[in-house]
Structure 1
Amino acid sequence: MEPDRTIEDEASAGISGIRRVPSRSIDNPARRGLEFAMAPAKRAVSPSRARRSLATNPVSAQQRAEPHCPEPWRPKPDPSRHRRHDHDRRAGSRGTNTSSAGETGMVKQITYTALPGLPLVEPGDPLSDIVLRGVAEAGLTLADGDIIVVAQKIVSKSENRYRDLGDVVPGKRAVELSAQTGKDPRMIEAILMESSAVVRARPGVIVVEHRLGFVMANAGIDESNIPHFDGRQMVLLLPEDPDASAARLKAALDAACGASVGVVVNDSFGRPWRNGVVGVALGSAGLCSLASMIGTPDLFGRALRITEVAIGDELAAAASLLMGQGAERCPVIHVRGWKSSGSHTPAAALVRPRASDMFR
C-alpha cells in the first residue's frame, strides 16, 4: 500500500492544496492519484526545495506528466483581425445604405412597431389622421428618418377602389380563362381590366402582368378583409398609382409633424420557385427603394459589379411579419433606425423591365 505523500511542486504548477492520496480511497479510476482540496494557499516554495522534496519522495514519470490545471488557453491577439474589422467598417461606410452606428462600431438596430387602436378604414378617410392617431397611441413621435409602412388594402379602401362584381360583364376571353382556371368569369374580367398581359393560367391560378408592371396573381385584386355591402360581391383593386399614394401620405405626415418621414405601401406577393407570400413595396416616397451597390468594394476590396438592393421590398417584408395576413388588424407599422442615403427612388424602380426579364 502506497503511503500518503505531499507533492510540493506548487512553485512550478501554481496550485495549492494538492496532495497524493492512496489509490484505494478513490473509486473513480480517472481520479486516482490526485485529490484537489480547497486548502489555504501555502507559502511559496523555492525551486531548490521542491527538487529536494522530489528526491526524498520520488514521483513516477507518468505522475509527473499528469495535468496540473494550467491557466485556461486564450487566443493571442491577431492585429490583422482588427485591421479586417476596421476595413469592414470602412467598406460599410462607403455603401449606399449604412447607419451611422456602423461607422462608430456600435450595434445596428431597426425597430418595427405595429400601431395600435386603428379603426377600420372607410372610403374617403384621411390616412394621415389615422396614422398620427396610431403613433400617439403607441407613445411615439414622428422624427426625421422614420418610415411608415402601410398596408395596400387600407390605401385602396381610403381611395374607394372597390368594384362590385355584379356590375362586371365578362367578355369572351374572360369566359375562356374561367373555364381554364375554374374562377368566376366576372372575377376574370376584373383581372383582365387591370392587366396588360396574361403570363400563366391553370386550374385555380391566373398570373398576369398588371398595368403598372407588377407580375402577380389576380392582378392584386382581393376579396379578403373587405365588407360586402348589402350582400353584394365586392372586390378591392390596387391603388391607381401606389407611388403617388405614398407621396400624398408623406406630404400630409410631414406637414403635421414637422419632420421628413418615408412611406412604403406594402402588399403580399407570391414568388416564382418559392412557397409562401412576402411583403413587397408597391409604392414609396421619401426613401431610396432601390440602392445600387455597383462599384462598392467588398470585404477584400473587390468592386461589386451587379448588386442592387431592394430596400423598399426588404422594409416591406419585415413589416409584414407584424401586419399578418388574416385578422391581426395591424395595417400600419412604424419603423425607426434605418438610415438611407442616396437619392430617393420610387417603388416603380423595383419593377424589372420586360426587356431584361429572362422568363417572359
Structure 2
Amino acid sequence: MELIGVPGIPEVAAGDDIAALIAKALRDASIEVVEQDVFVVAQKIVSKAEGRIVHLDSVVPSLRALEWAAAFDKDPRVVEVVLHESKRLVRMERGVLISETEHGFVCANAGVDTSNVAEGTVTLLPKDPDASARKIRAANVALGVSGIAPLIDYRGQKDSHGNALKVTVIAIADELASAAELVMRKSAGIPVAIMRGFNYESRDATALELIRVPELDLFR
C-alpha cells in the first residue's frame, strides 16, 4: 500500500468547495487518481468550509465552565463551547473532558479544537460528517465515510490456528484515517491524503456503523 500526501491545499474559509480545492491541488501536483484510491480528508478543513467556527469573544461562560476552567487553568470560553457541544459528559476530571457528541462519538472535548485556527476561535465537528464525506466523495478517527465499508467483520471465520473468531470486528475506516496521519501531520500543512492499494468493500455506508451500542461500550 502507498500513502500520498496531497500538497497545495490553501487555507480554507467558510463556503469553500473542498472537492474543487482537492481537484486543483491534484492537478497542480500532477497526481493522478486511480481506481480504488481512498481519500482521507482532515476534519478541520471540512469544519472550516462548513462554517463550523466559534469566535470565543461571543461566548459567555457558565458558572460550571468558570469553576472548572479555574481549577485546571483552562480558557472558560473553550470549556463552555465543549459543554454546549456535549450530549453527555463521560469524564470531567484532572483537566480532561471526555464527552459524547450529538453524533454519538465519545471523544476529548466533544471534538472542539483550538489548533490550526485563527487566534480567538475554535472549530466544531461537522454537523453531519457522513453528508460531508458524500459531498466531497472522500472520507486520524473516521468521522464520516462515503463509498467504503467502515468495518471488516471476521466473526465466524477462523484464525491461523483454526480457532473460531467470535468478537473480531476491525474499524478499517479508523485505521485508514490513522495511517494517513503519517503524511497529514498537523504541522505539515497537508490536510488530504490518498491511500492507494488497499482492497476494500465499496458500498453505501455510514460512520454510525463505527459507534458501539451503549450496552457494549465500556467507555459509556
TM-score range, shorter chain: over 0.9
Q: Could you tell me how far 1:325 is from its partner in structure 2?
A: 2.5
Query: Equivalent residue for 1:350?
Result: 210
Contact 1:180/1:202 (<8 A) preserved: no
Identity percentage of aligned residues: 42
**Map of 2:51 onto structure 1:** 160
Please give the alpha-carbon distance, in whole angstroms, between the structure 2 residues aligned to 1:297 and 1:201: 41
Q: Normalising to structure 2: TM-score of the pair?
A: 0.92
Number of aligned residues: 220
**Within 2, Cα distance between the matches of 1:353 and 1:249?**
28
Q: Distance in 1 between matches of 2:132 and 2:214?
A: 25
Q: Deviations over 1:308-327 (max 9, x none)?
A: 0111011001100111122x
Deviation at 1:218, TM superposition (A): 1.2
Q: Pick from 126, 137, 145: which aligns with 1:284? A: 145
Letter in 2 for 1:244: A
Counterpart of 2:178 in 1: which secondary structure?
Answer: helix
Q: Which residue of 2 aligns with 1:298?
A: 159
Shift of 1:190: 0.7
How many Å separate the matches in 1 of 2:202 and 2:189? 34
1:202-260 deviation line (CA, Å, top 9, x unaligned) = 343222112212221111111111124xxxx111111111111001111xxxxxxxxxx
CA contact (8 A) 1:150 1:331 kept: yes
Instruction: Provide the C-alpha distance between the structure 2 equivalents of 1:238 and 1:359, rounded to a whole number of angstroms.
Output: 20
Aligned match of 1:235 in 122, 128, 137?
A: 122
Partners of 2:68 and 2:104 in 1: CA distance: 21
User: What is the identity, as a one-letter code, of the residue corresponding to 2:153?
Assistant: S
Paired residues of 2:52 and 2:124 also in contact (CA < 8 A):
yes
Instruction: Map 1:147-226 to 2 at 5 A.
Output: 147-226=38-117
TM-score by length of structure 1 reads 0.58
Q: Secondary structure at the match of 1:117?
A: coil
* Partner in structure 2 of residue 260 of structure 1: none
Question: Does 2:172 align with 1:311?
Answer: yes
Aligned partner letter, 1:249: I
Alignment-derived partner of residue 198 in structure 2: 338
Greater share of residues in helix: 1
How much does 1:171 deviate? 2.2
Secondary structure in 2 matching 1:216: strand
Q: Which residue identity does 1:347 align to in structure 2?
A: A
CA distance in 1, matches of 2:166, 2:48: 42
> What is the Cα-based RMSD across aligned positions, in Å?
1.7
Following TM superposition, the consecutive aligned residue runs of length 4 or more in structure 1 with deviations greater than 4 angstroms are none
Counterpart of 2:128, as a letter, is D
Distance 1:341 1:203, change over 3 A: closer
Distance in 2 (CA, whole Å) between partners of 1:344 and 1:305 is 25
For the residue of structure 2 that corresponds to 1:135, the secondary structure is: helix
How does 1:238-277 map onto structure 2 within 5 Å?
Answer: 238-250=125-137, 263-264=138-139
Unpaired stretches in structure 2, ≥5 consecutive residues: none
What stretches of structure 1 of length at least 5 have no aligned partner?
A: 1-109, 251-262, 265-278
Residues 332/297 of structure 1: CA separation in 2 closer, same or farther (3 Å cut): same
1:39-188 equivalences under 5 Å are 110-188=1-79
Q: Say if 1:174 and 1:186, in contact at 8 Å, map to a contact too.
A: yes
Q: Distance in 2 between matches of 1:324 and 1:359?
A: 27
Matches of 1:152 and 1:297, distance apart in 2: 36
Shift of 1:115: 0.8
- Comparing both chains, which one has the higher relative contact order based on Cα–Cα distances under 8 Å and sequence gaps of 6 or more? 2
Output the amino acid matched with 2:148.
Answer: L
Q: Secondary structure at the match of 1:189?
A: helix
Provide the residue aligned with 1:323 in structure 2: 184
Q: CA deviation at 1:131?
A: 0.8
